[in-house]
């Protein structure tokens, strides 16, 4: 149980150790005042409040927002004699971890999974979709900026149909790899991230269009791609 000085210091820490700190009533929430008939509580009033606390860690930059439940005991003299707070500590776990340096795996400049990505992407330039799709598992998922946020990723058949429609309108003139790394994360999965200089020709008028493309490919333990995520500006087309 904290004394008053500790409680006040805790309040001060929330305001000084965080940026944009806010403590507001939750949506459709309001305080309740309860008077119990129990002999032990008959001279006391319990006030229950449901609030939302939010902000950005001043040291870590971690954004947080979570509900908080507070119980106050108010005496007959209208003084708060007791406070109990309930809140989930799990949202702050990343903030605690971020207060010190932690490694998270290994970065490779050369790796068999990098080779797999390069061969697959260059297959697009030479129009060999069989060589492209052989790098993926049959149940691989395809996602990117072409998809709406939080929408389901495309299946291989859906992505093949989208590719076919795209190649009806554009031809791939060149694909130049500018940067590629393989990440073995300890806390996540295995990814190859790459940047490419893509030049397309619009078949309608033979106009050349050059755009930067970032690709993320997630691998399984067998060296096959299980998910692809492509990021590029479609408005350039």
Domain boundary among 42, 63, 97: 97
Are 119 and 93 contained in the same domain? no
Contact 69, 86 (CB under 8 A): yes
What is the domain range of residue 13?
4-97
Are 62 and 116 contained in the same domain? no
CA max distance for the chain:
88
Q: Quick check: 96 pLDDT over 90? A: no
Look up residue 154 and give its DSSP letter: B
For residue 127, the number of C-alpha atoms closer than 13 Å in the C-beta half-sphere is 7
Torsion of CA 89, 91, 96, 102, to 10 degrees: 140
Average pLDDT, the chain: 89
Q: Quick check: 1 pLDDT over 60? A: no
Are 115 and 205 contained in the same domain? yes
As a whole number, mean pLDDT of residues 66-93 equals: 86
The tens digit of pLDDT for each residue in 32-68 reads: 898 888 877 778 999 999 999 999 888 788 888 889 9
The tens digit of pLDDT for each residue in 131-176 reads: 999 999 999 999 999 888 888 999 999 999 999 999 999 999 999 9
Which CATH number goes with the domain that contains 38? Answer: 3.10.450
Are 92 and 158 contained in the same domain? no
d(CA 9, CA 218): 46
Are 232 and 136 contained in the same domain? yes
Count of structural domains, the chain: 2
Contact 223, 116 (CB under 8 A): yes
The tens digit of pLDDT for each residue in 174-204 reads: 999 999 999 998 766 799 999 999 999 999 9
* pTM exceeds 0.75: no
Are 77 and 20 contained in the same domain? yes
Are 136 and 36 contained in the same domain? no
> What's the confidence (pLDDT) of residue 205?
95
Domain boundary among 97, 132, 167: 97
d(CA 227, CA 132): 14
As a whole number, mean pLDDT of residues 98-110 equals: 79
Q: Which of 69, 181, 22 is nearest to 115 (CA)?
A: 181
d(CA 96, CA 62): 10
Rg, the chain, Cα only: 28
Which CATH number goes with the domain that contains 216? Answer: 3.10.450.50
d(CA 56, CA 59): 9
């Amino acid at each position: 149980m904290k004394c008053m000085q500790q409680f006040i210091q805790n309040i001060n820490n929330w305001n000084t150790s965080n940026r944009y700190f806010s403590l507001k009533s939750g949506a459709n929430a309001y305080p309740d005042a309860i008077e119990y008939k129990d002999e032990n509580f008959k001279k006391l009033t319990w006030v229950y409040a449901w609030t939302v606390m939010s902000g950005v860690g001043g040291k870590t930059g971690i954004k947080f927002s979570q509900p908080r439940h507070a119980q106050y005991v108010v005496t007959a003299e209208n003084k708060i004699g007791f406070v109990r707070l309930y809140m989930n500590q799990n949202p702050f776990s990343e903030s605690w971890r971020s207060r010190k340096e932690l490694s998270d795996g290994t970065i490779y400049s050369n790796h068999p999974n990098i080779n797999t990505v390069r061969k697959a992407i260059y297959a697009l330039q030479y129009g060999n979709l069989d060589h492209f799709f052989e790098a993926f598992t049959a149940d691989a998922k395809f996602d990117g900026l072409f998809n709406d946020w939080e929408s389901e990723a495309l299946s291989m058949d859906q992505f093949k149909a989208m590719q076919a429609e795209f190649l009806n309108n554009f031809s791939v003139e060149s694909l130049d790899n500018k940067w590629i790394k393989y990440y073995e994360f300890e806390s996540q999965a295995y990814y190859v991230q790459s940047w490419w200089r893509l030049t397309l020709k619009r078949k309608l008028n033979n106009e050349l269009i050059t755009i930067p493309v970032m690709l993320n490919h997630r691998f399984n333990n067998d060296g096959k791609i299980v998910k692809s995520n492509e990021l590029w500006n479609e408005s350039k087309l």
